[in-house]
């Protein structure tokens, strides 16, 4: 197992490097001269040239990339054009909000998704099953930001139960998390239902039934363990996609997370901040994918056996 | 039994009529027809496409879609404005109908682009294998690791938000998945006998890929392409909503929602129509995709 983890960790390095090269290239193609952006409106030509060489902008592309990465590894992502503060501090202060929403939303979708999925599978063709099937089909086609707007209208404007925007209290996290969760939850319900149905048709379940094992025990002890394996994978993939989704949702609820910072910086053409936020999310989603694979290897005896053998 | 010659001839004549072999397209359509939801999706989608093509015939962009009439602002539904008017007094129904073309155009664009690039990359990687396959797949792994929304936002941030840029930006997020799917179906196909036969006849490699392998993988391609189109339409609306996609005053549905959000406390009705339009479009395409999946490959139906 240790060998496998090390192997996976080594494999992730080229992917992280690749991501950073792609994003660095894209961001470098942004029109506009960083030195000019930093120096402001009044400057002499000499000062501009000097600042450019201080920032290393006169060096070739690959050197600039290497410098950026070396600095980034030390936690130095440059200085924001707009606030003149170090970028890292700014990104880091916004980060917890985004993580909180993502975390809450993954809990919601796992709990609700798995429970509804199991019930739908166990009571196949029942009213409950049909209803959940139709709802999930529609939910998968609803944009998360529109769900967010509708939830906001219902719970904050009409009913006044939850705060309209911002995160002054913990309640501010509820609606954004639900809005992010719903479309992915639809996916999880479908998946749990279909894997559960597959597992319930297996021979060993029939054996258990023939032996007279109680139905509850069959579902929770025998079937669920196997049915949940693909769910883990999809949940992991979902988290990394959701990090992209929160960028949009943060705009709906005015949450000062990493996504708002990104959009605001794109509008201000504040490239170092854009670069850092994009990099942060990409690396995080990559690490989450790795974690999912490792968890999967730890819980699936078949994969475990493969790794050992 | 004793059958004389004339009877036999009559039977022989009759048989082709009775058991006339239906073409593959007909068979697909017969299976597709049985799925009522898929038919509903197809009908809705066709209406949306017809609307998006024909709007210029009865709506004038300058005077009816973007022209501001502040005097008429925030009118609720009436005979003159069936869905009411927005904060600038523009007719919401006109804007909504005009907005269909952005979603359909971008959705189709993404589907065609990601399908064709994915088909070429996936088919060649799967067919040739070896180091070529390794390089393509490892590079795509990197793209795959970047969340789709993030990729699109960074490309739009760097190159600006014209429609072609948007299409490329969203396609880049779809290509890795498309390539993987096509590659895996090519790998299963390439060891089958008819490909072996083609190879034995010394057929050119490009001909084997494009004439023999890809048509057989077509079913998967079409289904994936359709589902991709639905997702892209939602994504484009999301990008426009956060100001990274199609810009106001163009009546793209996401952009309309973005403007409507500022007035949600007093005029929530502004947010219903564009949202429902997005859901209907995306849902109809998903239904078509699901229907096609079952119709093209009855074995895959669960």
* Stated pTM of the model: 0.84
| C-beta of residue A107 within 8 angstroms of C-beta of residue A184 | no
Residue of B nearest to A190 (CA): B302
Q: What is residue B110's three-state secondary structure? A: helix
Q: What's the start-to-end Cα distance of chain A, in Å?
A: 11
User: Residue B85's beta-bridge partner residues?
Assistant: B91
Q: Has residue B40 got a pLDDT over 90?
A: yes
Half-sphere exposure of A252 (CA within 13 A, CB side): 32
Rounded-to-integer distance, Cα B82 and Cα B15, Å:
58
Q: DSSP readout, B178-208?
A: HHHHHHHHHHHHHTSHHHHHHHHTT--HHHI
Q: How far is CA A163 from the centre of its chain?
A: 24
| C-beta of residue B295 within 8 angstroms of C-beta of residue B28 | yes
Q: What is the pLDDT of residues A195-254, one digit of tens each?
A: 888 888 888 888 888 998 898 888 888 888 888 888 888 888 888 788 888 888 988 888
B135 touches chain A (CB under 8 A): no
A237 touches chain B (CB under 8 A): no
Q: Hey, how many other C-beta atoms are within 10 angstroms of the C-beta on B72?
A: 16
Q: What's the start-to-end Cα distance of chain B, in Å?
A: 45
Restricting to A residues 146-165, those with a Cβ less than 8 Å away from any Cβ of B are 146, 149-150, 152-153, 157
Q: Hey, how many other C-beta atoms are within 10 angstroms of the C-beta on A254?
A: 14
Residue of B nearest to A13 (CA): B142
The pLDDT profile of chain A, 309 residues, written as one tens digit per residue, is: 778 888 888 888 888 888 888 888 888 777 767 777 777 777 778 888 887 777 777 788 888 888 888 888 888 888 887 787 888 888 888 888 888 898 899 999 999 999 999 889 888 888 888 888 888 888 888 998 999 999 988 888 888 777 777 677 778 888 899 999 998 898 889 889 988 888 888 888 888 889 988 988 888 888 888 888 888 888 888 887 888 888 889 888 888 889 899 888 888 878 788 888 888 888 888 888 888 888 887 777 777 777 665
| C-beta of residue A48 within 8 angstroms of C-beta of residue A38 | no
Rounded-to-integer distance, Cα A105 and Cα A188, Å:
13
Residue with the two structure tokens 């106001």: B248
Cα–Cα–Cα angle for A297, A300, A305, nearest 5°?
75
Please give the pLDDT value at position B13: 64
Please give the pLDDT value at position A296: 80
Domains (range + CATH), chain B: 35-69+81-300 (1.10.3720.10)
| C-beta of residue B152 within 8 angstroms of C-beta of residue B210 | no
Q: How far is CA B255 from the centre of its chain?
A: 21
Residue with the two structure tokens 């084997």: B208
Residue of A nearest to B273 (CA): A146
Residues of A in contact with B154 (CB under 8 A): 23, 26-27, 274, 278
Please give the pLDDT value at position B302: 40
B249 preceded by a cis bond (ω within 30 of 0): yes
């Amino acid at each position: 197992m240790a060998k496998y983890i090390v192997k996976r960790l080594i494999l992730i390095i080229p992917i992280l490097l690749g991501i950073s090269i792609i994003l660095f290239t894209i961001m470098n193609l942004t029109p506009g001269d960083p030195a000019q952006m930093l120096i402001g409106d009044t400057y002499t030509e000499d000062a501009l040239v000097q600042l450019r060489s201080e920032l290393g902008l006169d060096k070739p592309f690959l050197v600039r990339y290497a410098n950026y990465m070396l600095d980034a590894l030390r936690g130095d992502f440059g200085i924001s054009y707009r606030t003149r503060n170090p970028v890292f501090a700014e990104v880091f202060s916004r980060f917890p909000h985004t993580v909180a929403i993502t975390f809450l939303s993954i809990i919601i979708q796992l709990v609700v998704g798995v429970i509804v999925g199991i019930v739908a599978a166990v009571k196949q063709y029942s009213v409950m099953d049909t209803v959940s099937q139709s709802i999930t089909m529609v939910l998968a086609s609803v944009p998360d930001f529109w769900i967010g707007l509708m939830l906001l209208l219902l719970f904050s404007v009409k009913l006044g139960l939850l705060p309209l925007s911002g995160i002054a209290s913990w309640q501010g996290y509820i609606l954004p998390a639900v809005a992010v969760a719903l479309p992915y939850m639809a996916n999880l319900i479908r998946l749990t239902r279909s894997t559960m149905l597959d597992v319930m048709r297996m021979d060993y379940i029939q054996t258990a039934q023939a032996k007279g094992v109680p139905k509850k025990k069959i579902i929770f002890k025998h079937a669920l363990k196997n049915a949940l394996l693909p769910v883990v994978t999809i949940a992991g993939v979902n988290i990394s996609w959701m990090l992209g989704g929160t960028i949009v949702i943060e705009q709906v609820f005015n949450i000062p997370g990493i996504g708002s910072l990104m959009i605001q910086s794109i509008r201000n053409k504040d490239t170092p901040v854009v670069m850092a936020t994009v990099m942060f999310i990409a690396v995080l989603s990559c690490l989450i994918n790795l974690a999912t694979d490792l968890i999967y290897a730890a819980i699936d005896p078949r994969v475990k056996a493969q790794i050992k053998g | 039994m004793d059958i004389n010659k004339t009877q036999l001839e009559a039977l022989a004549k009759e048989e082709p009529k009775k058991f006339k072999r239906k073409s593959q397209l007909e068979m697909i359509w017969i299976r597709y027809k049985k799925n009522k939801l898929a038919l509903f999706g197809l009908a809705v989608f066709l209406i949306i496409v017809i609307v998006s093509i024909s709007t210029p015939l009865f709506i004038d962009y300058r005077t009816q879609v973007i022209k501001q009439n502040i005097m008429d602002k925030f009118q609720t539904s009436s005979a003159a404005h069936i869905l009411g008017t927005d904060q600038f007094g523009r007719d919401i129904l006109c804007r909504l109908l005009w907005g269909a073309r952005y979603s359909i155009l971008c959705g189709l664009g993404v589907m065609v682009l990601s399908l064709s690039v994915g088909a070429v990359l996936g088919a060649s990687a799967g067919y040739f294998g070896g180091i070529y396959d390794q390089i393509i797949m490892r590079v795509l792994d990197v793209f795959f690791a970047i969340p789709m929304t993030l990729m699109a936002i960074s490309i739009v941030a760097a190159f600006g938000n014209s429609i072609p840029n948007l299409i490329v930006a969203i396609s880049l997020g779809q290509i890795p998945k498309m390539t993987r799917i096509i590659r895996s179906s090519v790998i299963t196909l390439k060891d089958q006998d008819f490909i072996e036969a083609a190879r034995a006849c010394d057929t050119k490699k490009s001909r084997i890929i494009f004439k023999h392998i890809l048509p057989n993988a077509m079913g998967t391609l079409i289904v994936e392409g359709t589902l991709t189109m639905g997702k892209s339409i939602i994504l484009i609306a999301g990008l426009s909503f956060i100001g990274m996609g199609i810009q106001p005053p163009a009546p793209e549905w996401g952009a309309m929602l973005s403007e409507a959000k500022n007035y949600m406390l007093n005029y929530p009705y502004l947010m219903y129509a564009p949202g429902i339009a997005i859901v209907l479009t995306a849902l109809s395409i998903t239904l078509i995709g699901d229907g096609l999946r079952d119709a093209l490959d009855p074995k895959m139906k669960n």
